[in-house]
Structure 1
């Protein structure tokens, strides 16, 4: 009798990572994800950054379509379940998933990505990717721009290794915090306030960043704001950025045409 053919191994997603550069996403096993929220979202993130959002309006009557993209299939499965549970009462369409490297040109022929999106988010991602800052910033931002509608918004944050700006400047206001001024939700910001907030970076934050870097979870020692702003400005007409401690929050609006 002919022997059975061995099952084919699942195809690997194209990636720019070299040998040993995959710890940042393989680390997130089921057990690690169970403590991720408390360890990262609860302990590591500045509370001032938690209210950041895309400031994008949408038709609340239309079903909301959500797609998740990640290299880690375990993270995709767990996040898909969580989002669908939370969205069950809000008319959320089934969540689609794509296994891919966020800094490699996305597979736009994938069923989840054939239609454009109103917003794309990339929170707490760039600082983990072990690639040169200009390379990973350019790849991520270009992917986001290609996936957005003409009036779409790209929003996210990353932990910087270097916080000093040379060529870029912060946005004049913070428009995503729940404070009101002259009838609008705005907070004066600008270079002076950004520098003041960065100066207040605590010892705990410095310790955590150093520890994550030593074990290979973070790869952001050379990540500075200017390279990220350059990538955003190549792909978007309007770019807003803020630095709070070592956290850089960014938003790109009005995607440029191909």
Structure 2
């Protein structure tokens, strides 16, 4: 476990998880980050998830639980925090859902590959600099099947022109080590994704960057 990964994961206690959906997915996404969950993030997840899926940074399991997945979809959950893994697996309630307690900043052990890998609201919880956290793209490309896709969403830093609510949350979260994203930029993420993938698509919604990457560069 690295200190950088542990700081962002530690906040997800059972108590925090109990209010996560209402506060983060409801109030914060709509009013602070200006990227509504149901209208933007959930459809983006649903459009990109594939039959053999790895969800990293699982939160409460909201996206796999709400995405109306096919019965043929197999889910693996990866997170450093056991409370998040337990809560997400219970919420998803799908037979065969697996959990893996692991530090995302380290390569995943073994040779298993997935059709899709999601990183929703994980990257802004990893302390900067961006060059360091973006190393996970180089690790995760080796866990994609041919034709697979890596996709996710992250809250950008100071460049995102946060409103008053967002600026206050950014100040508090970065000071507490919950976020580490003050220097995170769209240009920076795009450069790192294109270093590892031939097919990269990015979309900005409010203060949130949605990204999709395929065709890994070996």
Question: What is the TM-score with the length of structure 2 in the denominator?
Answer: 0.79
Q: How many residues align?
A: 193
CA–CA distance in structure 2, aligned partners of residues 61 and 33 of structure 1: 26
CA–CA distance in structure 1, aligned partners of residues 6 and 74 of structure 2: 29
Residue 152 of structure 2 contacts residue 211 of structure 2 at CA under 8 Å; is this kept in 1?
Answer: yes
Aligned-residue CA RMSD (Å): 2.3
Greater percentage in helix:
2
Structure 1 match to 2:66: none
Larger Rg, first or second structure (1 or 2): 1
C-alpha displacement of 1:216: 2.1
Residue 103 of structure 1 contacts residue 137 of structure 1 at CA under 8 Å; is this kept in 2?
Answer: no
Structure 2 match to 1:107: 109
Gaps (5+ residues) in structure 2? 30-34, 52-68
Structure 2 match to 1:168: none
Structure 2 match to 1:120: 117
C-alpha displacement of 1:205: 2.1
CA–CA distance in structure 2, aligned partners of residues 35 and 241 of structure 1: 30
CA–CA distance in structure 2, aligned partners of residues 158 and 28 of structure 1: 17
Change (3 A) 1:124 1:61: closer
Structure 2 match to 1:70: 79
Greater percentage in strand:
2
Question: What is the TM-score with the length of structure 1 in the denominator?
Answer: 0.67
CA–CA distance in structure 1, aligned partners of residues 194 and 70 of structure 2: 33
C-alpha displacement of 1:61: 7.3
Question: Are 2:15 and 1:43 equivalent residues in the alignment?
Answer: no
